Amino acid sequence: MLTQEQRETAVASLAKSHETKIQGQRPSEMFPDIEIEDSYAISSMLADHWVSKGARIIGHKVGLTSKAMQASSKIDEPDYGYIFDDLLIENGAKVPFENYCVPRVEPELTFVLKEPLKGPNVGLVDVLKATDYVVPSIEIIDARVTEPRKIFDTVADNGAAAGLILGGRPMRPDDVDLRWVGAIFHRNSDIEETGIAAGVLGHPAMAIAWLANKLAPFGTTLEPGHMMLSGSFTRPVWAAKGDTLLADFGPLGTVSVQFT
């Protein structure tokens, strides 16, 4: 377990990487004895730092929700981070590539709550009842620390969250079987990935249930109006300068972003 001073050192290093867009040293390299509890504490401290700078928390993100991604990260459960208001990007927007270190993109579903959710014992039906609508999304993730990154590093850096684009057609949670929502992910004219939302813990709402229960010991409630990003159901797709990334959710519409 790290000391408070060591955690503060990691926060300062990560904040500098955010601001300069230059990859910094990995927390796991600085402090080989780091534990996952340290990483979540660093992430929380980093969130407090951004809030003190004027950012506003508008939800949470869940990652590593597929077995393949968990295996690759050598962790047996999802992870989570925060969504800030300055991460929101308009559908179809052009964003400067220089705003990121090493950006990648993922198609996901975002749940917007109308009722509070607080664990323990939150289940699938509870999430569906508390959800106002679900919207197709693209998440931008960014590697703000050097390779080889470990799960400790990704968790500490807010799950690599770097941007969220909402688009397509918002839907009520009972309008469609969310397990079978699919996406074709294009980079320019090429199809890079395809997948269906059942890849997220069998049902994407289960990611939100996991989060509510995971945060219960801290007394945290998932608030009405907050956005809950349920995790990718494809592998991340690399983005280069000039690339247009488009997620085609079929009858639910498209979401896109261009790096300029």
Report the pLDDT value the prediction gives residue 84, as an integer from 0 to 100: 98
Q: Which residue has the tokens 């004027």?
A: 54
Report the pLDDT value the prediction gives residue 64, as an integer from 0 to 100: 80
pLDDT in tens, 77-132: 788 999 999 999 999 999 999 999 999 999 999 999 999 999 999 999 999 999 99
Q: What is the share, in percent, of the chain residues with pLDDT greater than 70?
A: 96
CB distance 106 to 237 below 8 Å: yes
SS3 at position 56? coil
Q: Mean pLDDT over residues 6-11, rounded?
A: 98
Q: Which residues contact 46 (CB under 8 A, 6 or more apart)?
A: 11, 14, 15, 156, 157, 158
Q: Write down the mean pLDDT value for the chain.
A: 94
CB distance 147 to 163 below 8 Å: no
Report the pLDDT value the prediction gives residue 6, as an integer from 0 to 100: 97
pLDDT in tens, 32-79: 999 999 999 999 999 999 999 999 999 999 988 876 566 656 666 788
Residue 253 has what DSSP assignment?
A: -
Report the pLDDT value the prediction gives residue 68, as an integer from 0 to 100: 58
**Domains by residue range for the chain, with CATH:** 57-259 (3.90.850.10)
pLDDT in tens, 215-231: 999 899 999 999 999 99
| 121/52 Cα distance (integer angstroms) | 33
- Please report, as a single letter, which amino acid is at residue 61: K
| 166/254 Cα distance (integer angstroms) | 9
Q: Mean pLDDT over residues 10-18, rounded?
A: 97
**Least-confidence region, from 58-72, 163-177, 179-193:** 58-72
Q: What is the share, in percent, of the chain residues with pLDDT greater than 90?
A: 90
| 24/151 Cα distance (integer angstroms) | 16
- According to DSSP H, which parts of 63-134 are helical? 67-73, 124-130
